[in-house]
Amino acid sequence: MNRGVTVRLRGLWVVAICANAATAEPVLRHSPPVPDAVLDLRTSAGCEVVGAAWRYRDASIERTAFREPGPDRKASGKPNTTSDIAPKAGMSGFDDSAWPIITPESLEDRRGGGKLSFGWYRTSITIPTRIGEQDTSGSTVILECVADDYAEVWVDGNLPIQLAQAGGPMISGFNTPQRVVVARDAKPGQRVEVAVFVGNGPLSDPPSNFIWIRSMTLDFYAPGRFDSARRVPVQVMRLDPAIDAVVPRDARLERLADGFGFGEGPVWVNDSLSKQSYLLFSDPNQNVIQRWSEDEGVSVFRTKSGYAGADIGIYRQPGSNGLAVDREGRLTICEHGNRRVTRIEKNGTVTVLADRFEGKRLNSPNDLVYRSDGALYFTDPPFGLPTVYDDPRRELNVFGVYCLKDGVLRRVSSDLKGPNGIAFSPDEKHLFVANWDPSRKIVMRYDVMPDGGLSGGTVFFDMTGAPGEEALDGVKVDSRGNLFVSGPGGVWIISSEARHLGMIVAPELPANMAWGDDDGRTLYLTARCGLYRMRMLNEGVGRGR
């Protein structure tokens, strides 16, 4: 059934409705639009337009010196001998001048020797000024490749690698189309280097056939046509003139994807390994962490993100909730069902940061935030437990805010029934905590001590008078100290002086938010069923590294 919230503000009645997740279809799982122009790189005519010349060389498996896993689970143990691929032809500027040039029409020729075999195809393309009547300036250009049988696609020496990646530049399946963005906002004359590594498969049962290219095209999309975002209706209530310095007058809300069980806990990630930026967010109902990027859309980043117990069927929200990134770029996760806070190390190892306080299990860590010195603060309501407040599994008699600093876990607040969203002021002198309690819809503000403790807790803003069952969820702060609070009916915007500046009313109620993009001025919103974004005028505080 649909869920709705009705809110009255200064005489205005607003209804925010969440679509039924069971019938909504994720936007980014639709088929891509028909391109405005296509160049077939298996033809001389297509290659001539972009100045492409194909070269090929077999790759081989070679023995090489390496090391066994050490105590750190990295290659730091005793020396060994293992296998590697040669040559390393995906790197930018790789010298392939000694490789033979092959005609585009011969991409379908069988190569590689058969059985367990590998090969490299390399070329460079130059973005033309026009393709027929189509102006290419500002286009998004997609390389679509179908290799027999598996392929990895390098663009300008980069092979982005993310956990749980399915498709794009990585192997996506047996003879499966792979679509890789080679240029966004393309400029005529722009040069792009492409290397395609192809392997025969299945690897565990090498076939008697050979390596070849079934399809290789460049798809050109005019500016805006390939964008996955869809503009949706939004109402910005401007209750105070000061909101004009926070939300643009021409603000637009874009839906990026939908069809989720319950979007929560987003964080923007600048990944040094893949050299890409993307958004991670939880779906605690579905027990997964989703990944979204401009080029690749939505994919599952981590499954069983909060629980994998035999009794998982009795949990309403067994999965992860709040996500954060520490100073070293490591993902930190509030795991509802497992009742703990964990960190994913660079080598994939899971480190448990907190699961007990004074010998008793935590309730269900909900949201978290890092201070610039590395101190971690998180909230611990009972909302992840199967029967919430009355759950017999609950061991703690309070619902606290905790600080983990220098390996020591402290409870720094215990005055709220439903501590939920959490965020720092720009100077980190104050910590804001939202309370999910229909009888006490408040945002608390605490003074932050150098040792990590909190003092002087006061009610910063009270929404208890707003009608509806919804209480307060996520909190984010911009560089001017304005708060964005998920509250009854939408996102409440509150100044650093506790003035209600206005409200963002979306098609469905956002649960939490994250600042993202290169300049940190895009607010990403995870709602009940969908993922949205909206540009703001100020940079956000605490965005991912």
Rounded-to-integer distance, Cα 167 and Cα 165, Å? 6
Res 421: pLDDT = 97
Per-residue pLDDT of the chain (545 residues; tens, 9 = 90+): 333 333 333 333 333 334 433 333 333 444 567 899 999 999 999 999 999 999 999 999 999 999 999 998 889 999 999 999 999 999 999 999 999 999 999 999 999 999 999 999 999 999 999 998 889 999 999 999 999 999 999 999 998 776 656 667 888 777 888 899 999 999 999 999 999 999 999 999 999 999 999 999 999 999 888 777 788 999 999 999 999 999 999 999 999 999 999 999 999 998 876 678 999 999 999 999 999 988 788 888 999 999 999 999 999 999 999 999 999 999 999 999 999 999 999 888 899 999 999 999 999 999 999 999 999 999 999 999 999 999 999 999 999 999 999 999 999 999 999 999 999 999 999 999 999 999 999 999 999 999 999 999 999 999 999 988 889 999 999 999 999 999 999 999 999 999 999 999 999 999 999 999 999 999 999 998 999 999 999 999 987 55
Rounded-to-integer distance, Cα 486 and Cα 516, Å? 18
Query: Is the bond leading into 149 cis (omega within 30 degrees of zero)?
Result: yes
Distances (CA, A) of 314 to 3, 275, 299: 22, 40, 26
Assign residue 81 a region: left if phi > 0, alpha if psi is -120 to 50, beta otherwise?
beta
Rounded-to-integer distance, Cα 364 and Cα 315, Å? 12
Rounded-to-integer distance, Cα 275 and Cα 154, Å? 13
Task: Using alpha carbons, select from 396, 408, 270 the residue that is nearest to residue 330.
Answer: 270
The answer to whether 367 touches 336, Cβ cutoff 8 Å, is no
Encoded tokens for 257: 């994807």
Rounded-to-integer distance, Cα 217 and Cα 182, Å? 12
Rounded-to-integer distance, Cα 257 and Cα 264, Å? 14
Rounded-to-integer distance, Cα 379 and Cα 421, Å? 8
The answer to whether 379 touches 366, Cβ cutoff 8 Å, is yes
Res 274: pLDDT = 64
Rounded-to-integer distance, Cα 422 and Cα 419, Å? 8
Distances (CA, A) of 242 to 11, 38, 423: 20, 48, 22
- The DSSP string of 233-288 is --EEEE-SGGGGGTS-TT--EEEEE---S--EEEEEEEETTTTEEEEEEEETTTTE
Task: Using alpha carbons, select from 178, 213, 220 the residue that is nearest to residue 103.
Answer: 213
**H-assigned helices in 20-139:** 44-50
Q: Mind listing the domains of the chain with CATH numbers?
A: 3-30+227-535 (2.120.10.30), 37-221 (2.60.120.260)
pTM to 2 decimals?
0.85
Res 133: pLDDT = 86
